[in-house]
Amino acid sequence: MARRRGLRRLVVLLLTLALVAGGIYTAVFFVQRSETLVSERCTAVVGDRTAELAPDQAVYASLITAVAVQRGLPPRAASIALATAMQESKLRNIGHGDQAGPDSRGLFQQRPSQGWGTEEQVMDPYYAVNAFYDALVEVPGYESLDITDAAQRVQRSAYPLAYARHEELGRFFASGFSGQTPEAVHCTLRSSALPGDAGAVSAELGKAYGPVGTVVDGQTLVVEATGSQAWSIAHWAVANAKGLEVTRVEVAGRSWNRSERNGWQESPAPDGQVRITVAAREA
């Protein structure tokens, strides 16, 4: 009898362990499955209207707008640049041209043969964006021109009317990334797979905006900024969250959390600074 009771206990224990293991496997499976099913995207919301970009496109959109902010250009300049880059390259840094411009390269499909610089230069997004703005500011009254007219005077495209297709997208993301519309840009992303580096975030931020006051404290980068600049930097951090493994951005009483996927929420974040937190390293 004692032997039978012992066998029953062993069987119960084994069944219990099997159920626990099965439950763990099922939970892990559904967590992984839910991550896989997340549709990654970045959204700009202005009023009751929205525009969307893929995360890699949003990275370049944030850079294009940040350079305008760095140069002291109006949001209208960024709107024109974004609409232009969307038409020319779908906001991707492509290394080839087309039949009309076989030597075209980069975000704006700038042609070395037309004096835009070397192929290496126009494939550098920072160079390409500044080259576009250098040409745009030479267009008299560009701020009051239709996007089609302003873009065409810079680009000299064979299809000048095509820029107008992206006017609304350009305006919405320029408004958010310039900080003119707080809480406008948020991204839905899968969880971080790797640890982040706050120093790397600081370096990329400096390239986009020029010198900004930053303090790296372990996982968190603190940037001293107020008003529209603070929101511009905060939106930039959200747009770059996927590549830089950013998990949380806090600014002016609001926060974006990568894990929550529900946009900007109320938080105790103080005014006067932007706090950017990256994924932690495993202990």
**Secondary element (H or E) of residue 22:** helix 2-37
Within the chain, residue ranges assigned H as helices are: 2-37, 55-71, 75-89, 119-122, 125-136, 147-155, 167-177, 198-209, 227-239, 241-244
DSSP 159-189: -GGGGGGGHHHHHHHHHHHTTSSTT-EEEE-
DSSP annotation of 191 reads P
Neighbouring CB atoms inside 10 A of 31's CB total 11
pLDDT at 30: 38
pLDDT mean across residues, the chain: 88
- Residue-wise pLDDT for 185-222, tens only, equals 999 999 998 999 999 999 999 999 988 878 888 899 99
Positions in the chain short of pLDDT 70: 1-38, 99-100, 283
| pLDDT of res. 13 | 54
Mind listing the pLDDT tens digit for each residue in 113-126? 999 999 999 999 99
Q: What is the pLDDT of residues 226-252, one digit of tens each?
A: 999 999 999 999 999 999 999 999 999
